[in-house]
Amino acid sequence: MQKLNAQDIAALEQDIARAIQAGRHDEAGVLWLRILDGDPDNRKALTALSQRSFRAGDLLAAKALLQRLIAADGGDQQEWINLAVVCQGLRDEEGEAAAIRGALSIDPNDMLALLLRGNLLERQGKTHEAARAYGAAATVAPPMEQVNPDLRPMLRQALQYRDRYNSEFGTFMDRHLSAFFKDMRGEDLGRFRESVDIMFGRKQRYESRPALFHFSGLAPITFFDRGLFPWIEQVEASTDAIRDEFLAVLKADQGFTPYLTYPADLPHNQFAQLNNSPDWSAYHLIEKGARVEAHAAQCPATMAALALAPQPRQSKRTPTAMFSLLKPKTRIPAHTGVSNVRLVTHLPLILPPDCGFRVGNDVRAWEMGKAWVFDDTIEHEAWNDSDQLRVLLIFDVWHPQLSAAERAAITAMSEGIEAFGGMSGGFEL
């Protein structure tokens, strides 16, 4: 047949559309062949006829048509994926692998192509390579509910394979390292152990995620070494006096307010149950950078202890210090703080059993007379599963890695925020 011009092809395409609309699919197939005879590289005809052959189960014809289609251009990733599927049906692993490489050469992060690669490698018994391919697919995959329903079973299989592989690999590594850990008994290898757990998916990796201001270069540490805070033992020495002052104000039962007081027109998110609730309340000693004079006057020993710590100075923002009360059977849901330039200190004053605290992967129980300092921009949560009240003294301090100049710069920035006015009351560092 002689070569068709654009007008001839357009007329045949109209005939094809009418035939399909009328349900005359065989006639449409014949017309596509006429176009292909007159225009051997016609992409629409090659695509339609390859799909028709695939649906009819003629995989050899579908493969030949797809190869012609790719040879004409090769820039359409879906064509490579279609060829990979056809080759899989033909058990042509070499052709399947080549087609998957073609798809990934266009987009190395395509989830479906990575899933196909993992599936091929799994069938070939290449365990390690399959796990890497499935892991790469899992990394780029959106949440399951956003994945095309047709692809969800394949993605689930990939995730299950990866998890089994990580579990087996982790068990092997535990055995491999057991002798080493025995030789290193007494050494602090907690960070290394956690890193291994994260590598094998046994724990989650947590980063510093401040709600507003992130200071670059500060390491995301959950609980800080006490040696970084030379004042901490002096504060701990005042625990009894601080507790006595708290018990006195508790007896007076004045000045306690809900820890959270979000307005009704702002989203409460995970804090809906605790918003404006006495289940989590506070007695503020320093609030948004200002002493609460009536409260501070009742707690001179507490204020003297607070003065030992390097509190961040920022107008109308920090420092803050309070007695924090958590009633029985109450849980503070996981959340993150505002900025990593300041850390949070806890000193337990009333500590019933069945209370706990988690920062990232680090779960700890308070100990009477012992304070700790943590980065609250790492996800954390607290709970009181007892039948009694839990009380802490909470206050913030400068991050010890900040220089004097950097602290001054942050203070100056906070003054600029205050002067601008647009974030007043809603931006705390």
Here the CATH number for the domain that contains residue 57 is 1.25.40.10
270 plus 370 within the same structural domain: yes
* Predicted TM-score of the model (pTM): 0.70
- When pLDDT is cut at 50, 70 and 90, the band that residue 287 belongs to is very high
What is the extent of the structural domain holding 115?
6-163
In a domain, 370, yes or no: yes
- When pLDDT is cut at 50, 70 and 90, the band that residue 212 belongs to is confident
Query: Residue 414 corresponds to which tokens in the numbers above?
Result: 């906070």
- pLDDT for res 427: 41
Question: Measured between alpha carbons, how far is 373 from 321 in angstroms, rounded to an integer?
Answer: 14
- When pLDDT is cut at 50, 70 and 90, the band that residue 272 belongs to is confident
Q: Above 60 in pLDDT, residue 428? A: no
Query: Residue 335 corresponds to which tokens in the numbers above?
Result: 């959340």
Mean pLDDT along residues 67-93: 93
In a domain, 57, yes or no: yes
- pLDDT for res 268: 55
Q: Above 90 in pLDDT, residue 305? A: yes
Domain count, the chain: 2
Q: Which residues contact 150 (CB under 8 A, 6 or more apart)?
A: none
151 plus 22 within the same structural domain: yes
| Domain end marker among 138, 163, 188 | 163
- pLDDT for res 125: 95
| Domain end marker among 147, 163, 179 | 163
101 plus 245 within the same structural domain: no
Which range, 8-12, 30-34, 321-325, 420-424, is most confident?
321-325
Q: Above 70 in pLDDT, residue 422? A: no
In a domain, 371, yes or no: yes
Q: Which residues contact 165 (CB under 8 A, 6 or more apart)?
A: 127, 130, 131, 134
Mean pLDDT along residues 49-55: 89
The share of the chain scoring above pLDDT 90, in percent, equals: 60
- pLDDT for res 429: 43
In a domain, 386, yes or no: yes
- pLDDT for res 416: 76
270 plus 350 within the same structural domain: yes
In a domain, 189, yes or no: no
Residue type, 83: L
Q: Above 80 in pLDDT, residue 15? A: no
- pLDDT for res 316: 78
232 plus 129 within the same structural domain: no
Question: Measured between alpha carbons, how far is 16 from 321 in angstroms, rounded to an integer?
Answer: 77
243 plus 391 within the same structural domain: yes
299 plus 399 within the same structural domain: yes
In a domain, 292, yes or no: yes
Range in 3-17, 90-104, 389-403 the model is least confident about: 3-17
In a domain, 91, yes or no: yes
Mean pLDDT of the chain: 89
For residues 328 and 387, is the Cβ–Cβ distance under 8 A?
yes
- When pLDDT is cut at 50, 70 and 90, the band that residue 241 belongs to is very high
Angle at 308 between CA 302 and CA 314, to 5 degrees: 95
Which range, 134-148, 252-266, 268-282, is most confident?
134-148
Q: Above 50 in pLDDT, residue 356? A: yes
- When pLDDT is cut at 50, 70 and 90, the band that residue 78 belongs to is very high
In a domain, 183, yes or no: no
Question: Measured between alpha carbons, how far is 389 from 330 in angstroms, rounded to an integer?
Answer: 10
- When pLDDT is cut at 50, 70 and 90, the band that residue 376 belongs to is very high
321 plus 415 within the same structural domain: yes
393 plus 315 within the same structural domain: yes
Q: What is the DSSP string of 157-204?
A: HHHHHHHHHHHHHHHHHHHHHHHHHHHTTTS--HHHHHHHHHHTTSS-
Mean pLDDT along residues 343-362: 97
- pLDDT for res 364: 96
| Domain end marker among 132, 163, 194 | 163
157 plus 264 within the same structural domain: no
3-state SS, residue 318: strand
CATH number at residue 356: 2.60.120.330
267 plus 410 within the same structural domain: yes
- pLDDT for res 34: 80
- When pLDDT is cut at 50, 70 and 90, the band that residue 2 belongs to is low
